[in-house]
Amino acid sequence: MAVDLVLKDGIVIVNDSEKVQSVAIDSGKIEGFYKHGEEPEGKRTIDCRGLYILPGLIDMHVHLRDLNQSEKEDYETGTMAAAAGGITTVVDMPNSSPPVLTREVLDQKIASASAKCYVNVGFYAGIGKRFDTSMVPDILGLKVYPHSPLTEGVNYDIKRIKKCVQLANKHDLPLLFHPDSATMDEKPETREEFFLIHSCESEVNSLQAFLDAKVEYEARLHVCHVSCAATARLILEHRAEHTLTAEVTPHHMLLSGENFPHTDGVAKMLPPLRSPYDTQMLAQALCKKCAIDCVGSDHAPHISSEKTTSFLEAASGIPGLETTLPLVLTEVFEGRISWIDFLRCCCSGPAMILGIPSKGILAEGYDADIVVVRKQEWHISGADFYSKAKLTPFEGRRVLAKPVTTIVGGEVVYHEGRFMVGPGIVGRVPIRKV
Ligand code: DOR
Ligand code: ZN
Ligand code: ZN
């Protein structure tokens, strides 16, 4: 019997080295791996000679902006950007308008995403004054923003942090947090003040406060976008705890603030870009020290006028769905990141943290969420993004990897610059397996 699809004679990564194989896909799953000439017949075959067949990336940190900020992004454009960027699963952050604090809003977001998506979309929830426990079965984690709480009048003091850690523990959900101990009334009046308020010290202190709370309630803590060497060091000291995981973004690992004049907001994000020392240490933390478990894009789109205004007035956040794979694979192709670390941080690590064990690995029986990549030199151009956000601090950067084909649940979604299906046809809401 013919299988649904054969990816023929591509390069797969086995034990950190490249091996030519064909991958057969059937009923949405990876059916098996075959030597040249031994493949089963496929209803469809894609010639992958010279191309890499990799697990689709799992980006556990994106802001897709639906429901009420669709001028910045929506589930359609955001997941098109993901598919074109080789990302087959994204997890949407709860700091939307309205924020995800109730079952009602979560349901609206799930309905909107299901109708418009091109890849799998999962969800996080925030913690309101009272936590709406009915959200638990359909979320992949809890997310908190100590420097900018989703509920007015809430202050992330020790008591509140303990309550969040306790809730995460009770519901066996990872507690993701944006490490920043700044408070809402610290309003910067100058650019320098902005960097002082959101300093490395503030990041480290915030991490320490969550670690202290975790001593009492052993919850799974996930540190979002580690940006400082000192934070990575503190994570390393707690490395033995499998309940502590950490993320880095491509921009904090590859760009330092010194290279940007910061007159406008094109390179403004929270946490801010740091020193060249921090950038270097983050890359080491990922590769040599294993202090980092995942790469997340922190795709945070804004409309261009919010980014081109003066630095202080500009919105924080940059698009990342279409740059993550090219940037990180360029590090692999140039020998600075190993294949193993790439696969660990971009695919299997996020699947493990999120508790979606059928994803993130290219192996028999796993979900057929796959990206086929060409090693090719090109230059990043925001104008070509499917995302509504076209301004990137990586504009013009030379990269060496281009997603060619993106497959979600065994269906070809994107191929050679074209979308092969309409919105809402492929992609599911991944549910946590406890
Ligand atoms: O730069 C950022 N933008 N950092 C955040 O934590 C939030 C994000 C956003 O939602 O725009
Ligand atoms: Zn954040
Ligand atoms: Zn974010």
Which position among 298, 341, 367, 369 bears the catalytic label? Answer: 298
State which H helix or E strand residue 253 sits in.
Answer: helix 250-254
Between CA 201 and CA 212 the distance in angstroms is 16
Average pLDDT over residues 34-42: 97
- Quick check: is 298 catalytic? yes
Between CA 282 and CA 252 the distance in angstroms is 8
Residue 353: which residues within 8 A CB-CB, separation 6 or more? 60, 174, 220, 222, 245, 293, 294
Q: pLDDT tens digit string along 93-114?
A: 999 999 999 999 999 999 999 9
Nearest to 25 by CA among 44, 46, 3: 3
Average pLDDT over residues 6-11: 98
Q: How much is the pLDDT for 239?
A: 87
Residues 141 and 168 occupy one common structural domain: yes
Residues 49 and 60 occupy one common structural domain: no
For residue 271, the domain's CATH number is 3.20.20.140
What's the chain's average pLDDT?
A: 97
Residues 72 and 197 occupy one common structural domain: yes
Cβ atoms within 10 A of the Cβ of 89, count? 29
Q: How much is the pLDDT for 179?
A: 98
Residues 199 and 258 occupy one common structural domain: yes
Q: How much is the pLDDT for 259?
A: 95
Give 385 Cα–ligand 2 centroid separation in angstroms: 22
Residues 374 and 413 occupy one common structural domain: yes
Whether the full predicted model's pTM is greater than 0.75, yes or no, is yes
432 in any annotated domain: no
Between CA 54 and CA 56 the distance in angstroms is 6
Ligand nearest to the CA of 92: 3
Share of the chain above pLDDT 90, in %: 95
Between CA 325 and CA 347 the distance in angstroms is 11
Number of H helices, E strands in the chain: 12, 17
Max CA-CA distance within the chain? 68
Shortest-distance Cα residue to atom 6 of ligand 1: 270
Q: pLDDT tens digit string along 377-417?
A: 999 999 999 999 999 999 999 999 999 999 999 999 999 99
Average pLDDT over residues 293-311: 98
204 in any annotated domain: yes
pLDDT at 434 over 80: no
Rg over CA atoms, the chain = 21
Residues 251 and 372 occupy one common structural domain: no
Average pLDDT over residues 344-356: 98
CB 349 within 8 A of CB 330: no
Backbone φ and ψ of 23, nearest 5°: -115, 125
Residues 46 and 136 occupy one common structural domain: no
Give 143 Cα–ligand 2 centroid separation in angstroms: 9
Residues 77 and 219 occupy one common structural domain: yes
Range of the domain at 66: 56-354
Between CA 54 and CA 407 the distance in angstroms is 10
Average pLDDT over residues 425-429: 97
Between CA 434 and CA 428 the distance in angstroms is 18
Between CA 284 and CA 60 the distance in angstroms is 21
Residues 150 and 129 occupy one common structural domain: yes
Please spell the DSSP secondary structure of 86-125, one letter per residue: TEEEEEE-S-SSS-S-SHHHHHHHHHHHHHH-SSEEEE-B
Domain total of the chain: 2
Residue 304: which residues within 8 A CB-CB, separation 6 or more? 389, 390, 391
Residues 105 and 182 occupy one common structural domain: yes
Angle between helices 276-287 and 229-237 (to 10 degrees): 30
Which residue reads 């004679």 in tokens?
A: 9
316 Cα nearest atom in ligand 1 = 1
For residue 376, the domain's CATH number is 2.30.40.10
Backbone φ and ψ of 400, nearest 5°: -120, 10
Between CA 386 and CA 39 the distance in angstroms is 35
434 in any annotated domain: no
The SS3 call for residue 248 is strand
Which one of 316, 318, 388, 392 would you pick to mutate in the ligand 1 pocket, going by the greatest count of ligand atoms within 8 A of its CB?
316
Q: How much is the pLDDT for 288?
A: 81
Which one of 180, 227, 269, 388 would you pick to mutate in the ligand 1 pocket, going by the greatest count of ligand atoms within 8 A of its CB?
269
Q: pLDDT tens digit string along 152-176?
A: 989 999 999 999 999 999 999 999 9
Q: pLDDT tens digit string along 195-207?
A: 999 999 999 999 9
Tell me which residues have their CB closer than 6 angstroms to ligand 1.
63, 95, 178, 269-270, 300, 316-317
Q: Is cis: bond before 327, omega within 30 of 0?
A: no
